[in-house]
């Protein structure tokens, strides 16, 4: 089982460029999440999804968009990258509310640098 | 004030020592999670608990719901335990987590 796979693992962008981070899970999980991790701060939720076709804003959504067209995939887009978006991005998934409280399964992260 | 506070922020121990990391939270929760992150690595779930105590190998997690406090203990610490340990609380509705800033543990041989 691959679990949660993030693509790419590393990327360097110039200010103003756009890109999409892909998260794929093979556990048939309903819920998926995108976080960013910055030095000295806890992980912060960017956007999340509670099922195919649904998305919702988290704590720090500005500058990002997401889509969940297929249950197994959750895409995070940066339309016009800014240096403040330099971070490590983690995707996670969990079974969903019907399963009660469950641990989240995390991908290995994407290191993104904006120059 | 952060909703999830961890202490200490940094901890250095000698191999074999007993280690305690603390987590206090100020919001209502349905569960509390302890996670581990090795340097440059991914994040793995160690424990999820909503009451009492759980044990896995040399790791023990406890929670006191009334005091809104949890502890992670490592017995007979080993250099491979060196990592960042993260406390997170789950508010319940959509399993969204609120994270502490982590405790960086270094276990020296």
Q: What is the mean pLDDT of chain A?
A: 93
CA dist B82 and A7 (Å) reads: 27
- Provide the pLDDT confidence category of residue B88 given band limits of 50, 70 and 90: very high
CA dist B93 and B102 (Å) reads: 24
Q: Which of A42, A48, A94 sits opposite B102 (nearest CB)?
A: A42
Residues 36-95 of B with CB under 8 A from A: 41-45, 48, 50, 86, 88, 90, 92-95
List the one residue out of B90, B85, B93 whose CA is nearest residue B8.
Answer: B85
> How, if at all, do strands A10-13 and A110-114 pair?
parallel
How far is B66 from chain A, CA to nearest CA, in Å?
Answer: 19
Note whether A98 contacts B: Cβ–Cβ < 8 A: no
CB contact under 8 A, A48 and B94: yes
CA dist A4 and A24 (Å) reads: 6
Note whether A5 contacts B: Cβ–Cβ < 8 A: no
- Provide the pLDDT confidence category of residue A99 given band limits of 50, 70 and 90: low
> CB A13: neighbour CB atoms within 10 A?
18
Which one is predicted more confidently, B95 or A59?
A59
> CB A53: neighbour CB atoms within 10 A?
10
Taking only the tens place, the pLDDT of each residue in A9-45 is 999 999 999 999 999 999 999 999 999 999 888 899 9
Predicted pLDDT at B2: 80
How many contacts (CB atoms, under 8 Å) link A and B? 62
Q: Is the dihedral of CA A24, A61, A95, B56 positive or negative?
A: positive
Task: Determine the distance from the C-alpha atom of residue B57 to the mean position of all C-alpha atoms in its chain, rounded to a whole number.
Answer: 15
Interface test with A, best of B7, B28, B43 (most A CBs within 10 A): B43
> How, if at all, do strands B97-99 and A64-67 pair?
unpaired
CB contacts, 8 Å: B97 with chain A: 33, 43, 45, 104
Calculate the alpha carbon distances from A26 to A63, A64, A98 in Å.
28, 24, 18
Residue with tokens 């305690």: B20
CA dist A69 and B26 (Å) reads: 36
Residues 24-43 of A with CB under 8 A from B: 31, 33, 40-43
> CB B16: neighbour CB atoms within 10 A?
11
Strand partners, B52: B63
Taking only the tens place, the pLDDT of each residue in B50-82 is 999 999 999 999 999 999 999 999 999 999 999
CA distance from start to end of chain B: 36
Strand partners, A23: A6, A74
Strand partners, A111: A10, A88
């Amino acid at each position: 089982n691959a679990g949660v796979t993030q693509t790419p693992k590393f990327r360097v962008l110039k200010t103003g460029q756009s890109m999409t981070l892909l998260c794929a899970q093979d556990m048939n999980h309903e819920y998926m999440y995108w976080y960013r991790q910055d030095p000295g701060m806890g992980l912060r939720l960017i956007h999340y999804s509670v099922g195919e076709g649904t998305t919702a804003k988290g704590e720090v959504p500005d500058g990002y968009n997401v889509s969940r067209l297929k249950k197994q995939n959750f895409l995070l887009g940066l339309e016009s990258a800014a240096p403040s978006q330099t971070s490590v991005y983690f995707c996670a998934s969990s079974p969903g509310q019907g399963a009660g409280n469950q641990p989240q399964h995390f991908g290995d992260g994407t290191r993104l640098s904006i120059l | 004030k952060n909703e999830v506070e961890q202490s200490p922020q940094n901890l250095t121990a000698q191999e074999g020592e007993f280690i305690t990391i603390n987590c206090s939270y100020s919001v209502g929760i349905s569960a509390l999670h302890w996670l581990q992150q090795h340097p440059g690595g991914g994040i793995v779930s160690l424990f999820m608990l909503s009451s009492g105590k759980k044990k896995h190998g040399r790791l023990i997690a406890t929670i006191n719901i009334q005091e809104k406090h949890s502890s992670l203990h490592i017995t007979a610490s080993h250099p491979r335990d060196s990592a960042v340990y993260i406390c997170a609380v789950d508010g319940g509705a959509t399993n969204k987590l609120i994270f502490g800033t982590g405790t960086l543990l270094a276990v020296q041989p």
